[in-house]
Amino acid sequence: MESSSNDNRIKNIVIVGGGTAGWMTAAAFSKVLKADYCNIRLIESDNISTVSVGEATIPQISLFNKILGIDENDFIRKTQSTFKLGIEFIDWKAKGHSYMHPFGSYGTDMDAIQFHHYWLKMYQQGKAPDIEEYSLAAIASKEGRFTRPHNAGNSPLSSISYAFHFDATLYAKYLREFAVNLGVERTEGKVIDVSLRNSDGFIDSVVLESGERVSGDLFIDCSGFRGLLIEGALKTGFDDWSEWLPCDRAVAMPCMAKNSVDPYTKSTAQGAGWTWRIPLQHRIGNGYVYPSKFVSDDEDVALLRAQMESEPIGEPNFLRWTTGVRKKGWHKNCVAIGLSAGFVEPLESTGLHLIQSAIAKLLGMFPSKGFEQADIDTYNEQLNVEMERIRDFIILHYKATERDDTDFWRFCQNMKIPENLQKKMDLYQANGRIYRQDTELFNETSWLAVMHGQGLKPKGYHPLVDTLEPTEIERRLHHIKSVIDKSVSVMPMQDDFINKNCKA
Ligand SMILES: Cc1cc2nc3c(=O)[nH]c(=O)nc-3n(C[C@H](O)[C@H](O)[C@H](O)COP(=O)(O)OP(=O)(O)OC[C@H]3O[C@@H](n4cnc5c(N)ncnc54)[C@H](O)[C@@H]3O)c2cc1C
């Protein structure tokens, strides 16, 4: 290893926490930094449990797997994964209504104008079916079909976008094995104290229950909601977002699957909050996310049980949090990754993505012992913007609803929302326009799926659509739909695909 500025190089990284965040960080760092660059040590306590949820992902996870170089079929077998093509939202807009938030795109763009503007014009005139009919992922989901993308020219089969449902505990175990094989040193033990340097307030070391003192140059706080280092030691502060997202509790309970496995997540709105159904190869993950202001703790398990398709196969796992984000995810020589950095409810499966994103951004801004404040500020700014955009996207599901049948839904309808979200809704409701801002996670397809799905109705459409004759638009829409339908019809059922390629 070259040693020009070697003395200033980070030589010891200490990760506190061995949940998904800790092991994702350890796996990525050990792969990218290589063993001779620095030592990586992860401390986890067997006596403090992980949250053991976090089973649904979004397509970006494939990039993470690719960077690690892991074999996807091996990963699927070892984590009991199934494939995910999107999320179905049931009873969110109104009771009895449902829509899909599919991965991938709708139709195909024509003449540099987004597809949905052409669709919108015809839909408003009653001459086109719902936007879902132009999504391969939405149609395949409902038919239970899945295949990986393969080179099929212009066919939508070339660009299938997918994610996974997996067992969170098995995923952390899988990454642990990966990281330890690449030289990460694992220490079992409870951190009971954190020592700060007198000179600058940076973290000097953590002290374990055994008495051992572990020093480091860079500390990664993956200790979960408690934020042992970032808040416990450094008192970084927290922005509370409960005024917009009042769900602050969850109970999770698995059961066995009764039928074949769906390639999508189900989210069903309840009188207050919502329940999830996440199908894995060996079981179904179920959970109820709810606001403690509107639902008492003894009502939660009963409601969840009533939604489940078979008897539970595990004890209920109760979780509590305050929705929001650390004022600074990176402060001094400590970076919070995972739940310690903040949390917005799991409605759009963004938890693991935010871990992945924090790791990527930290590698991009990787410090030396000098810790440039400009790097730290840029990292914090980027992550805050990403979190805020995700927050707004999730608030949209609650705010744009016709439901007013309970106190909870009346609260959601009437609540004030962040200005940026209001602007996005106003823009869409004028002429159906949607813009992806900055580097925000959710793209135009996602915003359209939820704005349309939740019942927002644009008054007009993009005026340039009128440059094409209506009969020509109809012809093109019809053609696009028939190509998508044909493509779906050749996709295998997900069960068959898994049995053939990656059965656990
Ligand atoms: C209800 C719910 C549902 C979710 N669903 C999804 C989903 O579908 N998709 C998704 O992407 N994300 C989801 N998430 C988020 C996801 O679960 C988390 O982002 C992910 O599990 C990371 O958790 P973590 O590792 O930060 O924390 P934890 O799992 O809490 O791990 C904390 C670790 O720190 C250790 N620790 C704590 N204190 C000490 C100490 N003093 N000494 C030593 N070790 C210590 C613990 O032993 C543990 O190893 C969900 C979250 C919740 C709450």
Per-residue pLDDT tens over the stretch 70-120: 999 999 999 999 999 999 999 999 999 999 999 999 998 787 899 999 999
Nearest to 305 by CA among 249, 255, 247: 255
pLDDT at 2 over 60: no
Pocket of ligand 1 (CB under 6 A): 16-22, 43-45, 48, 50-51, 53-57, 168, 190-191, 222-224, 226, 228, 250, 287, 319, 321, 338-340, 346, 349, 351-352, 355
Identify how many contiguous H helices and E strands the chain contains and give both numbers: 14, 21
pLDDT confidence bin for 7, thresholds 50/70/90: confident
The per-residue pLDDT for 346 is 96
The per-residue pLDDT for 4 is 44
Quick count: other Cβ atoms within 10 Å of Cβ 179? 27
CA distances from 273 to 65, 213, 339, 412, 475 (A): 32, 44, 20, 11, 42
The span from the CA of 483 to the CA of 490, in Å, is 11
Residue 62 identity: S
Mean pLDDT, rounded, for 13-42 = 95
pLDDT at 5 over 70: no
The residues that bridge with 496 in the sheet, in sequence order, are none
In the reported structure, the alpha carbon of residue 18 is separated from the centroid of ligand 1 by a whole-number distance in angstroms of 9
Instruction: List, for residues 451-498, the tens digit of each pLDDT value.
Output: 999 999 999 999 999 999 999 999 999 999 999 999 999 999 999 999
Residue nearest to atom 16 of ligand 1 (CA): 54
pLDDT at 1 over 80: no
Percent of all residues in the chain with a pLDDT value above 90, rounded to a whole number: 92
Instruction: List, for residues 207-228, the tens digit of each pLDDT value.
Output: 999 999 999 999 999 999 999 9
Angle at 83 (CA atoms; ends 114, 21), nearest 5 degrees: 95
Question: For a pocket test of ligand 1, which of 225, 286, 352, 353 has the largest count of ligand atoms closer than 8 A to its C-beta?
Answer: 352
The per-residue pLDDT for 261 is 87
Per-residue tokens: 26: 């350890």
